[in-house]
Amino acid sequence: MRLDDDDFTLFGLPERHALDRADLDARWRQLQAEVHPDRFAGEGAAAQRIAMQWAVRVNEAYQRLKDPLRRAAYLCERRGAPIQAHDNTAMPKSFLMQQMQWREALEEAAGSAAVERLEAEVVAAERRMLGDVARLLDEQDDAAAAAAEVRALMFVNRFRQDIERRLDALDPALPG
Amino acid sequence: MALLQISEPGQAPDPHQRRVAVGIDLGTTHSLVAAVRHGVAECLPDEQGRVLLPSAVRYLGGGRRQVGFEAMAAMADDAENTVVSAKRFMGRRLADIGGRDRLPYRFVDQPGMVALATRDGDKSPVEVSAEILARLRQRAEDSFDADLFGAVITVPAYFDDAQRQATKDAAQLAGLNVLRLISEPTAAAVAYGLDNASEGLYAVYDLGGGTFDISLLRLTLGVFEVVASGGDAALGGDDIDHVLADWALAQAGAAADTPHAKRAALVAARVTKEALSSADTADWLTEIAGRQLRIAVSRAQLDALARPLVDRTLAAVRKVLRDARVSRDEVRGVVMVGGSTRMPLVRNLVGELFGREVLTNVDPDEVVAIGAAIQANALAGNARDGELLLLDVIALSLGLETMGGLVERVIERNTTIPVAKAQEFTTFKDGQTAMAIHVVQGERDLVSECRSLARFELRGIPPMVAGAARIRVTFQVDADGLLSVSAREQISGVEAAVTVKPSYGLADEQIAQMLKDGFTHADEDMAARSLREARVEAERMVLATRAAMAVDGELLTTEERAAIETLAVATERIAAEADAHAIEAAVAALAEGTEAFAAARMNQGIRQALAGRRVEEI
């Protein structure tokens, strides 16, 4: 086992998008139980440093694996189709239309009930698109097509953050 | 294994006898120390049997001071020189401190952290906290008649980097070896989790004197994971005292203009509030400017005054649930922490929000210290099963200032720590040879609305066209939640780094100076202390090394084992002599000599952790 092993190897998982979240969590906890600096509290600076490196590495892999979108991006990259979100913003017209529609709906939404309805719609679309990505990666082995879909999902993800910010703003008693 | 038996077993220190580790709840209004004794975690009382130590320090002049109840007793008469709630000022600048016009102190605005002017000179909140920690350390050392192996100290989950660093500085100043900083709600869950053996998702609602925390924790198989946390670092029971005092003064047609009067009005409000937790009416009773004041307060009246403050806590609870994408019925229990949760209003409203009765069967004042003691015991290697592991998250996002005063987030909040993350930036002008790096913490998009943690410069970048340089900025947050940042230009290799300490906490030299000044150990010979500390550290290292060899000795060749054993024996021999520097050198040599062994053990541990699973999977 090495620090620069890929995430799937580190977690002992087959390299594919489909993944059992509970199993991933259990593996993460088992790994942390081995490497966390607290396990070496009395063992001096050298052991602490090594433990820290491993704990950081395990957390890094876990953060990437547990997020379906980041996991997909990672797989695309490993299969020669990096996402390059900054350089590659071309989107199908139908997708852009959908985005505009959603943004208008968010602007016009009057109360938190309306925003929550929109959120449910966006979440459903997101789930559908993630299903497509998983199929493209695991069944059709088409990393390039999957990468295009991941880029679209990144837009959807950003929009969801806007929705959440709006919901926070609608909660009257929120501090800060 | 044979080598182990060669060392004289009769002289080997018994680790369970020696490793006294304590948990400390360094609170806004009061502090506690707890330890596991005979397998039970309990708070350690002072000579009069009291477990709470008021977090109050009174400076008497000439370097003399009172800590705790004595200081509290003088609070109203000597308000300027009696510091309470110092925790609120930890790692803060003057501008950060809300409602300071209502506080009786003379604040000294200085870069980094505010200080308080007393008759003994300016005191930083770190120094005040160190007085309290030193008192608790003494109490523990007296209880066990032994030096402490180390301490786990709790901080609010919402504490940012500067506040955590300030807490750690205070502990160091008090002569404590910090095993770990853990968040208060996590400690509370440790106390409840082990006592009640409950698994699932829990909310910890912690309304203390000066801070409010709400955390969601998942408890599974001895692992405590903080799923999300939020709160308000400047909201607590003290604020309820303030609104009640203001209201009562208005009712009485009186004004509290002097520090003494302000304090007296607040003390009376606190007494009234506490009485109203069990009674339906109570009198607010005080004397201001020679005038006796008495105002009858009903519980309904107190509830009406406190309601807006409690509502703010409930909004923070809803936000944390949203952040974690958890609905309130998934929460299996709500742990109540902090004296303010004794208020029936708080219990009822929180219970209502979650649709269930809240948990109160561990004393809400003691629960945090007890949890910290359990964790300290585990970290000291005293726990039988040793299966307790805390996994924590950072409560606030960390990022950098980019063009136009915007924040580029590098590590998002609620990321599990320890964590390291790198991001690449570039120059925006042709021939630019330096880059200013401004590290900020917070959730807002504008730098001006986030907390500034540190600034440093990367210099000596070779002149290139704009956008050609590749500057990699790496953020690393350790298991205590403390941040260090480094920057490196990838093409030329020039580097700069900062631990987020200098701009906010005390620099190491400052701490060394304070220790030298005999700040916390006025009555003790520093040389004797450093010798004793070096010996404790040497013993700790030798013990740990032998224990590791006993478990994983087969990872070493006979020669390697002999080499390590030689180093261990040498360390023991030198530790018996009286040269602290030589002992430190021997410990360093032992650490270096075992580094490869430590790496090999780690590797084996990881492989074993997943061995069973890997086979199933393939």
> Is the pLDDT score of B521 beyond 90?
no
In angstroms, rounded to a whole number, what is the distance separating the alpha carbons of residues B421 and B437?
Answer: 16
Q: Is B421's CB within 8 Å of A30's CB?
A: no
| pLDDT band (50, 70, 90) for residue B516 | low
From B475, which residue of chain A is nearest by alpha-carbon distance? A56
Query: Which among B312, B415, B540 has the least Cβ separation from residue A42?
Result: B540
Q: In this structure, what is the dihedral angle of CA atoms B166, B168, B173, B177, given to the nearest 10 degrees?
A: 180
Question: What does the mean pLDDT of chain B come to?
Answer: 84
Q: Is B610's CB within 8 Å of A12's CB?
A: yes
The model's pLDDT over B393-443, given as tens digits with 9 standing for 90+, comes to 777 889 999 878 888 889 987 788 899 998 888 888 888 888 888 988 887
Q: Is B415's CB within 8 Å of A13's CB?
A: no
Q: Is B418's CB within 8 Å of A44's CB?
A: no
Which residue in this structure is represented by tokens 């029936």? B344
Which residues of B fall within a CB distance of 8 Å from A87? none
| Beta-carbon count within 10 A of B147 CB | 17
Query: What domains does chain B contain, in order, with CATH numbers?
Result: 16-191+367-383 (3.30.420.40), 237-304 (3.90.640.10), 398-505 (2.60.34.10), 525-606 (1.20.1270.10)
In angstroms, rounded to a whole number, what is the distance separating the alpha carbons of residues B282 and B298?
Answer: 6
Instruction: Indicate the range of A16-25, B33-42, B97-106, B204-213 predicted with least confidence.
Output: B97-106
Query: Which among B235, B318, B389 has the least Cβ separation from residue A32?
Result: B389
Helix segments in B40-160, DSSP class H: 69-73, 125-144
Query: Which among B421, B479, B609 has the least Cβ separation from residue A31?
Result: B609
> Is the pLDDT score of B127 beyond 80?
yes
Residue A78: φ, ψ to 5°: -65, -25
| Residues 24-43 in A contacting B (C-alpha not used; CB under 8 Å) | 27, 29-43
User: Could you tell me if A111 lies within 8 Å of chain B, comparing CB atoms?
Assistant: no
| pLDDT band (50, 70, 90) for residue B592 | confident
| Beta-carbon count within 10 A of B39 CB | 9
Interface test with B, best of A8, A29, A165, A167 (most B CBs within 10 A): A29
Q: How far is CA A26 from the centre of its chain?
A: 18
> Is the pLDDT score of A26 beyond 90?
no
> Is the pLDDT score of B451 beyond 50?
yes
| Beta-carbon count within 10 A of B16 CB | 10
- Residues A76-91: b if buried by 16+ CB within 10 A, e if exposed: beebebebeeeeeeee
Task: State how far residue A90 is from chain B, nearest Cα, in angstroms.
Answer: 23
| pLDDT band (50, 70, 90) for residue B43 | very high
pLDDT of residue B515: 56
Q: What is the mean pLDDT of the segment spanning B149-173?
A: 89
Q: Is B609's CB within 8 Å of A51's CB?
A: no
Q: How many CA atoms lie within 13 A of A88 on its CB side?
A: 13
| pLDDT band (50, 70, 90) for residue B568 | very high
Q: In this structure, what is the dihedral angle of CA atoms A156, A159, A161, A162, given to the nearest 10 degrees?
A: 180
In angstroms, rounded to a whole number, what is the distance separating the alpha carbons of residues B578 and B568?
Answer: 17
- Residues B512-545: b if buried by 16+ CB within 10 A, e if exposed: eebbeeebbbeeeeeeeeebebbbbbbbbbbbbb
- Quote ipTM for the complex: 0.77
Ordered strands of the B106-108 beta sheet: B106-108, B115-118, B121-123
pLDDT of residue B152: 96
Residues of B known to be catalytic: 25, 87, 184, 206
Kind of pairing between the strands at B200-207 and B333-337? parallel
pTM, whole model, 2 decimals?
Answer: 0.74
| pLDDT band (50, 70, 90) for residue B18 | low
For A106, the token pair is: 């968010």
Q: In this structure, what is the dihedral angle of CA atoms B122, B126, B132, B138, given to the nearest 10 degrees?
A: -110
From A61, which residue of chain B is nearest by alpha-carbon distance? B419
Q: Residue A156's closest CA among A95, A104, A115, A110?
A: A95
Question: CB–CB of B576/B48 below 8 Å?
Answer: no
Task: State how far residue B271 is from chain A, nearest Cα, in angstroms.
Answer: 27
Q: What is the mean pLDDT of the segment spanning B126-139?
A: 95
Query: What domains does chain A contain, in order, with CATH numbers?
Result: 7-66 (1.10.287.110), 93-170 (1.20.1280.20)
